[in-house]
């Protein structure tokens, strides 16, 4: 039914998705370029012992400087709520539990991006290549442009976050050094977790914007881009600072694996596999 081995071709609903050298252009590459300066701005303005509210305020301040000069209070409130929704979504594991407004086909790619296949089968230094392969398959899938938008936003923020964190852990003078682990090799492994958190946050933020509040309703795509950026910055930084972890309410890799896919994509409450 579904092969989760992303080191090989991805077989989904009788169609083979290819693995390539990623000739696809992510339409939101400019959003990816906003990740590094955003994280620099966040750490540059956070107090020594930040709270969640401090983090949200700095994310909102940075995004506001990009998209809304002198915004009304309603925009500031909405930006803050998007960041809070992303945090709640991550800690409640809403995206991977299927409790988000994504369809079955989108869910297949989301599982590949931030689910068990990426967590357990990919080393941090292979993340960029794997995400590029997923992007290529998104582009040649039967998804509409509208359905592709949140997926491309997630992948571009994930790649940008990994590149940023990989550089930071190699920089002894990094402003983030106080939050890094003192255990050899742990920071290397954490770059994957921080990057997956960015993708999770991007997807959560994408679903948290109310049409017509952040921008006029005719500018809906801009709403979603801004919301995605807010979610990604909040979660990738928050995962490092506060070490947030999602609440696991079902096994990550039950047997058979097809059962897990069925339960996720059909949004049904999973039942234990029958005992033989």
Residues 148-157: tens digit of each pLDDT: 999 999 999 9
Domain that residue 57 falls in: 10-18+37-265
3-state SS, 156-195, equals HHHHHHHHHHHHHHCCCCCCCHHHCCCCCCHHHHHHHHHH
d(CA 245, CA 94): 12
Does residue 146 belong to any structural domain of this protein? yes
Packed helices 145-169 and 186-206: angle between N→C axes, nearest 10 degrees: 150
Does residue 271 belong to any structural domain of this protein? no
Residue 60: per-residue pLDDT: 97
The number of domains in the chain is: 1
Residues counted in the chain: 276
Does residue 4 belong to any structural domain of this protein? no
Does residue 128 belong to any structural domain of this protein? yes
Encoding tokens for residue 112? 């590949």
Whether residue 235 contacts residue 86, with contact meaning beta carbons closer than 8 Å, is answered with: yes
Does residue 220 belong to any structural domain of this protein? yes
- Pure H helices in 69-185: 73-92, 104-114, 116-121, 127-140, 145-169
With 70 as the cut, is the pLDDT of residue 219 above it? Answer: no
pLDDT band at 255 (very low <50, low <70, confident <90, very high): very low
Q: Is the overall model pTM greater than 0.75, yes or no?
A: yes
Does residue 50 belong to any structural domain of this protein? yes
Mean pLDDT of the chain: 83
Does residue 90 belong to any structural domain of this protein? yes
Residue 275: per-residue pLDDT: 59
Does residue 110 belong to any structural domain of this protein? yes
Residue 246: per-residue pLDDT: 80
């Amino acid at each position: 039914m579904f092969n989760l081995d992303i080191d090989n071709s991805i077989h989904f609903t009788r169609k083979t998705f290819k693995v390539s050298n990623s000739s696809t252009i992510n339409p939101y590459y400019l959003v990816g370029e906003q990740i590094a300066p955003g994280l620099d701005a966040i750490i540059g303005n956070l107090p020594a012992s930040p709270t969640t509210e401090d983090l949200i305020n700095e994310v909102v301040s940075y995004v506001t400087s990009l998209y809304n000069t002198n915004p009304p209070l309603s925009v500031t409130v909405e930006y803050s709520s998007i960041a809070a929704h992303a945090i709640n979504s991550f800690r409640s594991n809403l995206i991977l539990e299927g409790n988000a407004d994504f369809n079955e086909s989108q869910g297949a790619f989301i599982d590949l991006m931030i689910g068990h296949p990426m967590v357990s089968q990919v080393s941090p230094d292979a993340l960029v290549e794997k995400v590029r392969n997923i992007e290529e398959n998104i582009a040649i899938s039967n998804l509409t442009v509208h359905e592709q938008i949140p997926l491309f936003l997630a992948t571009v923020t994930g790649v940008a976050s990994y590149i940023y964190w990989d550089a930071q852990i190699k920089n002894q003078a990094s402003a983030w050094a106080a939050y890094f682990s003192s255990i050899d090799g742990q920071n290397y492994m954490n770059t994957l977790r921080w990057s997956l958190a960015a993708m999770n946050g991007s997807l959560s933020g994408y679903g948290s914007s109310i049409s017509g509040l952040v921008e006029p309703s005719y500018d809906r795509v801009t709403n979603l881009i801004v919301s995605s950026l807010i979610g990604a910055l909040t979660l990738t930084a928050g995962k490092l600072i506060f070490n947030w972890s999602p609440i696991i309410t079902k096994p990550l890799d039950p047997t058979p694996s097809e059962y897990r896919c069925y339960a996720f994509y059909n949004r049904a409450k999973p039942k234990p596999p029958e005992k033989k």
